[in-house]
Chain A
Amino acid sequence: MTDVVSPVSGIPKAKSGRRDIGIKRRYAAERRFRTYGIAALSFGIIFLMILLWSVVSKGYTAFQQTMITIPVEFSEQVIDPQNERATNPQKLLTANYPVVARNSLAKALGVSVDDRVKIRAVGQLLSDGVRTQLRDMVVANPAIIGTTQNITLLAAGDIDSAFKGQINLSVAEENRKVSDLQVTWMNQLAETGVLAKHFNTGIFVNGASSRPEAAGVGVALIGSFYMMMIVLVLSLPIGVAASIYLEEFAPKNKFTDLIEVNINNLAAVPSIVYGLLGLAVFVNFMGLPRSASLVGGLVLTLMTLPTIIIATRAALKAVPPSIRAAALGLGASKMQTIFHHVLPLAMPGILTGTIIGLAHALGETAPLLLIGMVAFVANYPTTPLDPSTALPVQIYMWANEAERAFVERTSGAIIILLLFLIVMNVGAILLRRRFERRW
Chain B
Amino acid sequence: MSTSLILLIVAMVGLAGYVIGARRSLAVGGGLSSKLHSRPGYYGSFVAVWAIVPAVFVLFIWLVASPTYISSSIRGAFPDEVKAQSEAEQGLAFGMITSIARGMNVLSLEEIDRVGSNPVDLRSALGAKGVPLAGDPQPYMVEAAGNLNTMTYASRLAMTAAVLAISGLGAAFAYRQIAPRFRARNRVEKVILVSLVVASSIAILTTVGIVLSMLTEATRFFTHVPAWEFFFGTVWDPRFAAAGSGGSEGQFGLIPLLLGTLYIGFVAMLFAVPIGLFSAIYMAEYASPKVRSVAKPLLEVLAGIPTIVYGFFALTTVGPFLRDLSSQLNGLVTGDYSNFIQAQSVLTAGFVMGIMLIPYVSSLSDDIITAVPRALRDGSLGLGATRSETIKRVILPAALPGIVGALLMTASRAVGETMIVVLAAGVAARIQLNPFEPMTTVTVKIVNQLTGDLEFTSPQTLVAFALGITLFAITLCLNIYALYIVRKYREQYE
Contact = CB atoms under 8 A, between A and B. Distances in A.
Asked if A pairs with B, the answer is: yes
Interface of A: 1, 4, 7, 26-27, 29-30, 32-34, 36-41, 43-45, 47-48, 50-51, 54-55, 58, 237-239, 241-246, 249-250, 258-259, 261-266, 268-274, 276-277, 279-281, 284-285, 302, 305-306, 309, 333-335, 359-360, 362-366, 369-370, 372, 374, 392, 395-396, 399, 407, 410-411, 414, 417-418, 421, 425
B464 interface: yes
A372 B306 CA distance: 20
B200 A44 contact: no
Contacts of A410: 312
Contacts of A32: 388
B396 to A, nearest CB: 11
Contacts of A41: 278-279, 282-283, 287, 295, 299
Given A302-B206, A392-B306, A37 B416 contact: no
B191 to A, nearest CB: 10
Contacts of B213: 276-277, 280-281, 285
Contacts of B465: 276, 280
For the complex of A and B, the 6 pairs showing the least CB-CB separation, nearest first, are: A270-B416, A363-B306, A37-B282, A40-B278, A241-B199, A280-B213
B193 A262 contact: no
B471 interface: yes
Nearest to A245: B196
A277 B203 contact: no
B236 to A, nearest CB: 18
A209 to B, nearest CB: 19
Contacts of A414: 308-309, 312
A238 B281 CA distance: 39
Q: Is the interface of A mostly helix, strand, loop or mixed?
A: helix
B196 A277 contact: no
B249 interface: no
23 contacts: A33-B392, A34-B282, A34-B387, A41-B299, A45-B298, A47-B302, A48-B299, A51-B305, A243-B200, A262-B207, A264-B483, A265-B480, A270-B415, A270-B418, A272-B443, A272-B468, A273-B472, A276-B210, A276-B450, A370-B447, A399-B312, A411-B312, A414-B312
A55 B308 CA distance: 12
A366 B443 contact: yes
Given A34-B388, A242-B196, A369-B450, 6 more contacts: A32-B388, A34-B387, A39-B278, A265-B207, A277-B209, A366-B443
Interface string B280-292: 0111001100000
A38 B210 contact: no
Contacts of B443: 270, 272, 366
A317 B350 CA distance: 39
Interface string B205-227: 01101100110110000000000
B465 to A, nearest CB: 6
> Chain B interface residue count: which class?
35 or more
A407 B388 contact: no
B483 to A, nearest CB: 6
A396 B192 contact: no
Most chain B beta-carbon contacts within 10 A, residue among A38, A239, A258, A268: A268
B386 interface: yes
Interface string B452-487: 000010000000110010011001100110010000
B446 A395 contact: no
B274 interface: yes
Contacts of B386: 26-27, 29-30
A365 B196 contact: no
Contacts of B286: 34, 37
B201 A277 contact: no
Contacts of A365: 306-308, 418-419
B308 A259 contact: no
B44 interface: no
A40 B361 CA distance: 12
Interface in B351-369: 355, 358-359, 362
